A and B are shown apart, each in its own frame.
Chain A
Amino acid sequence: MAEPSGIGDSIPLDDPGLDIAAGEEFLQEVFQILLEEGVQKSTDVTQKVCEWKEPQELRELMDLELRSDGEGQERLLQRCRDVLRLSVRTGHPRFFNQLFSGLDHHALAGRFLTETLNTSPYTYEVAPVLVLMEEQVLAKLRELVGWSSGDGIFAPGGSMSNMLAMNVARFRRFPESRSRGNWDLPRLGLFASQESHYSILKGAALLGIGTDNVHLVRTDERGKMIPEELEKEIQRVKAEGSEPLFVCATSGTTVLGAFDPLDAIADICARHGLWLHVDAAWGGSALLSPQLRHLLAGIHRSDSVTWNPHKLLMVGLQCSAFLLRDSSGLLQRCHGVGASYLFQQDKFYDVSLDTGDKSPQCGRRADGLKLWILWKAVGTRGLGWRVERAFAATRYLLEQVKRREGFQLVMEPEFINLCFWFIPPSLQGQESSPEFWDKLGKVAPAIKEKMIRRGSMMVGYQPLGSRVNFFRQIITNPAVTRQDLDFFLDEIQELGWDL
């Protein structure tokens, strides 16, 4: 029996239970701070990219503890300032660390709007505008892939989009596995290149397929999947008694920015009846550029595509589209359970607009709005132009890297990932010595530490296969200028000179 709490809880219920005026005032104040400290400074080259603090020191500065009592406005405003000051400025023209960077003002406004609307686009009744918008945006992206129809949904990241592809592929081949599970299925075979994103492995584990059943296909010296090797792997896996199901081709690999040869791979998939998924999370935006779309030639032959506008298009995390060629309702049949409290069939409008059941998620963020606003502001051409600018900036940097002493390319970039080593004077000319590579591997981490402590810029490094640590330069932000690129090389030189 429920305990009768009675109105004698002495909680006054007549007026709202929060101080609205104070709340609005606080919001206004923060807007100001945000515009100056967050937006203006974020993109200002004279500001630091990061304000490095050791974890323990940062903990103390932040005063993280959550207490019984609330704090006053002034203290809270100071906290806001602190967070802005102590966070990495991913919008800074010299933040090159990840596959996203920069700040677009239109998308930002779209993000503020999304937050304030605070809703989940699962049904038309609760989010009419956002549901329609999502459909519009997905259709546009599909158009660029080369499909005049199809399906899709936004997912919380490219990893999730890749997993959706895997699940839909499995469902199409084995529809009963949705209800019966994988127990009596044969061992499945998934294929992706050696350079593919690690979410394929994570997905295989999560889906109950098993990471052992992900077969990584060899890539050539440019990081592209070798079709003959794919064919070989498929045959090998078949001979072992597994059933090949799914090939993930990558358009724009994470480290090298390589593009798998989609036509050749599509031929193989067609021959073997395999699902072809293209992970174009990174490279998909090249479809916007008439000059660069050839990199994804053949993409229309795929069954599904992942494309993350939050990377190259600066739309803001997260924005990842899972696109499906099928328009027979496969996505709905695969994921839908028709929960009767949300997807009632007796609503007074056309319930086919309640698209939320297509997702394995229930509540979801409305990630389409910021992309839509950006697109409205800049147009397809404007977006394509941005991609081309990023590409041009990479070419400029490439030429400089070739000219400068001490810089050595890992490989000629196909896209926007510029990978190179910096060889400090102390190691120059020592390529044949046995400890050369070992020592070289320590250079990038040391330079990285210095740049972060200085706050002058951020760029990523990693080993790859047998190659020791090298830098991976990524230029997505159209605010990046030639001066920034020159600075980039100067800075590496300066920081690495005496190593």
Chain B
Amino acid sequence: MEVGAGKQEMLQKKSAVLVDGVILNGPIMDSKAGEKFVEEACKIIMEEIVQKADDVTEKVCEWQAPEKLKQILDLEMRDTGECHQKILQLCRDVIKYSVKTNHPRFFNQLYAGMDYYSLVARFITEALNPSVYTYEVSPVFLLVEEAVIKKMIEFIGWEEGDGIFNPGGSVSNMYAMNLARYKFCPEIKEKGLSGLPRLVLFASEECHYSMKKAASFLGIGTENVYFIKTDERGKMIPEELEKQVQRARKEGSAPFLVCATAGTTVLGAFDPLDKIADICENHGLWLHVDASWGGSALISRKHRRLLHGIHRADSVAWNPHKMLLAGIQCCALLVKDNSGLLKKCYSAEAAYLFQQDKFYDVSYDTGDKSIQCSRRPDAFKFWLMWKALGTTGLEERVNRALALARYLVEEIKKREGFQLLLEPEYANVCFWYIPPSLRKMEDGPEFWEKLHQVAPIIKERMMKKGSMMLGYQPHWGKVNFFRQVVISPQVSREDMDFLLDEIELLAKDL
């Protein structure tokens, strides 16, 4: 409790100042109690999350139905506060019922695991609570962001370039779309789109849904995203792209952007960047590569060929918080242009923040390149992790994840009942599990209909048991299949074996 007890005492102190019933002398927050609270909370975090993170005997999740969970958690926000013990208990409850995304058997999303260095960096930034808009207010983090962007650009293969960190790959894609549009027709920034020719952009049918969301947000319209057919491996077919660009021109619309995906969300497919870049060059289109997921393969000398040709892109989205465990969020948009395009496109030159008469070189106040005003220092955790592991350490991580995926693929091929969708080229292993009862069934609509129901049931069971979490989805006419994603270095071969064993176990009676 902050107020009350000491009030009388304080009023009697010498030259106490009372304004509107508020005493302004000493601080009213009990710092010592606060610091103790933080210490205890950190202890709980350490014991309940960090130290249990690699323990496979712990549950991945403690499933509760929503109504039940609401009761257990005491979510209500009341007029008065509660004591520290109660809050610490609430923290424990939050931890208990939260999904442990750092568990070695959490495979549900395109992020997983825990990196200690990144976590340390994140704690540091939370304690400092900076905003990365100007040098005066966050000197360290601004310079760090600059250094990280420079390094990422090196890996893409550009001599120089620009970039910024964003709250998500979706936002990076949005930035790129807007940047391409601005390059195409700078007037749009002031005049808007109404009355202009219809802009059209192209992306593979496997692209991330943020392309649609961005198109609608930007006023371009979802139907002006032309989806390009992919081959049986989920990769954009360049000839189809050429066809669509021609079609768009014939229609009288204005093609301006192609988004290639390096590492699609479901299949983990990589579009053929060189061929796509050829087409973009021919037609004068901006090439954006959404490498949110696959970008980290650039760090691996062995696997970087997946993104061959990426240096020909005009912009790249790359999320280290996915494969590199940098911590949510850590998403960069990198831009080849070095003429200040990013700034010209986004700047609003607010006089209260970006004063030109500061006593230092104001070109350091890079915040105006962003759509955001206040912004988090997301590059820092990546930087500290890189310092700790070195490029070699990060490379090992990527190689290991892909080696584990390779191991799993071989095991799946050996085991009865498991059927691969396709040979993966990255870390996404997509497969069906066909329970014994369906194995003798003939291939046909009835078979697939029944198979479609298998994954959801297994998923429900695994979550209620808390043994692991794995995503499933239907996809382009294919019924529900599992998408296994390997990321975390905590994951080992036994976890892959366990994955298959557990599915078999849970589906025994289906």
Contacts and interface: CB of A to CB of B under 8 A. Distances in A.
A387 to B, nearest CB: 11
Interface residues of A, number: 186
Interface string A105-120: 1101101110111111
A396 interface: yes
Nearest to B146: A64
B391 A128 contact: no
A62 B384 CA distance: 11
A11 B389 contact: no
Contact of A27 (B50, B352, B456, B459): B50
Contacts of B86: 376
B139 A58 contact: yes
Contact of A66 (B84, B319, B358, B383): B383
Interface stretch (A75-83, A226-234, A259-267): A75-83
B126 A88 contact: no
A23 B137 CA distance: 31
Contacts of B124: 30, 34, 38, 80, 83-84
Contacts of A317: 129-131, 374, 376
Contact of A118 (B111, B127, B406, B493): B111
B244 interface: no
Interface stretch (B156-164, B207-215, B308-316, B334-342): B207-215
Contacts of B384: 76, 79-80
Contacts of A437: none
Interface in A369-417: 369, 372-373, 375-382, 385, 388-389, 391-393, 395-396
Contacts, number: 576
B170 A361 contact: yes
A456 interface: no
Given A24-B116, A183-B221, A396-B24, A212 B140 contact: no
B192 A482 contact: no
A28 interface: yes
B77 A360 contact: no
How many of chain B's residues touch chain A, expressed as a range? 35 or more
B144 interface: yes
A83 B494 CA distance: 39
Interface in A177-213: 177-188, 197-199, 201-202, 204-213
Given A66-B383, A340-B473, A182 B221 contact: yes
A26 B118 CA distance: 11
Contact of A98 (B109, B137, B151): B137
A448 interface: yes
A396 B35 CA distance: 29
A28 B137 contact: no
Centre residue among B190, B217, B302, B396 by max chain A CB count within 10 A: B217
Contacts of B27: 93, 478-481
Interface stretch (A269-277, A346-354, A427-435, A489-497): A346-354
Given A70-B387, A126-B101, A129-B73, A109 B128 contact: no
A115 B70 CA distance: 23
Contacts of A55: 135, 139, 143, 360-361, 364
Nearest to B425: A2
Contacts of B224: 180-181
Interface in B93-130: 94-95, 97-99, 101-102, 104, 108-109, 111, 114-117, 119-120, 122-124, 126-130
B445 interface: no
Contacts of B410: 7
B29 interface: yes
Nearest to A13: B493
Interface stretch (B279-287, B397-405, B431-439): B397-405
Contacts of B419: none
Interface string B70-81: 100101111111
Contact of A182 (B178, B193, B496): B193
A119 to B, nearest CB: 5
Interface in B403-420: 403-404, 406-407, 410
A388 B406 CA distance: 61
Interface in B235-265: 265
A485 B24 contact: yes
A77 B319 CA distance: 26
Given A90-B129, A317-B376, A365-B167, A347 B348 contact: no
Interface string B463-475: 1000001011111
Given A67-B390, A126-B108, A179-B216, A344 B473 contact: yes
A441 to B, nearest CB: 8
B147 A87 contact: no
Given A337-B212, A478-B28, 20 more contacts: A9-B403, A26-B120, A87-B128, A115-B119, A116-B102, A117-B98, A119-B101, A156-B171, A179-B222, A206-B174, A206-B217, A291-B20, A310-B374, A335-B216, A347-B456, A360-B214, A363-B168, A364-B167, A393-B24, A445-B357
15 contacts: A16-B104, A26-B116, A30-B124, A64-B147, A88-B138, A98-B374, A108-B127, A115-B126, A117-B98, A180-B224, A206-B178, A318-B376, A346-B480, A361-B210, A373-B87
